[in-house]
């Protein structure tokens, strides 16, 4: 009888304690987001709005120059770096999924509503490769990268220096983009080539 009473009491206390802690548990994601927001703001030069969302920790090198628009979402282990006067600009509602790498020595600009899949690399510079010096001692050769509004970059793609990807374009997974891609084109391969357009039309021969 006493054991049954104690078990019932313990169960009642456990439910009461759980009910008390429920509001605190709901605050944990909010506090984590605010903490990551504060860390990113303190670590970069530029603007990081309070509407920025985080799926996990962000990695940076140095003190990159970054400007984010409203309601951007950054996946776990997204990596940012800028060198020299390079800067990274994300417009509104940009989604960078887990493991995306963005490095700017000139400018990387990603316009509004762009989706970037996991482990995509976006870099606007290469090392110089003059033959009379070790590559690791040579400066970067930079040329800006831009990705137009509403484009979708598939998982594992690499976007190289000097490339413009047009609005609404789709880049297939694991593609390597070495030249401009037109608006609404679907491009795949290494190097990426236009397969067709989103309206079903084919590229000119």
pLDDT at 21: 57
Residue 76 predicted with pLDDT over 60: yes
Determine if residue 62 is left, alpha or beta; phi over 0 gives left, psi from -120 to 50 gives alpha, anything else beta. left
- Write the CA distances from 150 to 9, 95, 112, 168, 175, integer angstroms: 57, 10, 6, 5, 18
Q: What is the mean pLDDT of the chain?
A: 90
- Both tokens of residue 177? 């983009």
> Distances from the Cα of 45 to the Cαs of 18, 24, 65, 153, in angstroms?
42, 33, 5, 26
CATH topology classification for 44-197 = UDP N-Acetylglucosamine Acyltransferase; domain 1 (2.160.10)
pLDDT over threshold 50, residue 60? yes
Report, as residue numbers or ranges, the catalytic residues: 127
The rounded distance, in Å, linking the Cα atoms of 188 and 195 is: 7
Q: What is the pTM of this model?
A: 0.86
For residues 9 and 129, give the distance between their C-alpha atoms in angstroms, rounded to a whole number: 75
Which residues lie across from 79 on neighbouring strands?
59, 101
Question: Is 1 strand, coil or helix?
Answer: coil
Pair 83, 140: CB distance under 8 Å = yes
DSSP 181: B
Based on its alpha-carbon atoms, the radius of gyration of the chain, rounded to whole angstroms, reads 23
Answer yes or no: is pLDDT of 159 > 60: yes
> In terms of pLDDT, which residue wins out, 27 or 62?
62
């Amino acid at each position: 009888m006493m054991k049954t009473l104690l078990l019932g009491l313990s169960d009642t206390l456990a439910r009461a304690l759980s009910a008390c802690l429920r509001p605190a548990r709901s605050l944990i994601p909010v506090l984590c987001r605010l903490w990551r927001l504060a860390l990113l703001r303190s670590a970069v030069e530029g603007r990081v709005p309070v509407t920025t969302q985080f799926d996990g920790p962000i990695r940076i090198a140095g003190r990159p120059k970054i400007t984010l628009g409203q309601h951007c979402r950054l996946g776990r282990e997204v990596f940012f770096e800028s060198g020299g006067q390079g800067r990274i600009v994300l417009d509104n509602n940009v989604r960078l999924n887990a493991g995306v790498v963005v490095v700017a020595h000139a400018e990387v600009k990603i316009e509004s509503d762009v989706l970037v899949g996991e482990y995509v690399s976006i870099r606007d510079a290469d090392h110089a490769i003059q033959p009379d010096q070790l590559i690791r001692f040579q400066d970067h050769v930079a040329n800006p990268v831009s990705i137009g509004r509403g484009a979708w970059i598939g998982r594992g793609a690499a976007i190289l220096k000097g490339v413009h990807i047009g609005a609404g374009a789709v880049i297939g997974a694991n593609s390597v983009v070495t030249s401009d891609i037109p608006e609404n084109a679907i491009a795949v391969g290494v190097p990426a080539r236009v397969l067709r357009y989103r309206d079903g039309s084919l590229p000119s021969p």
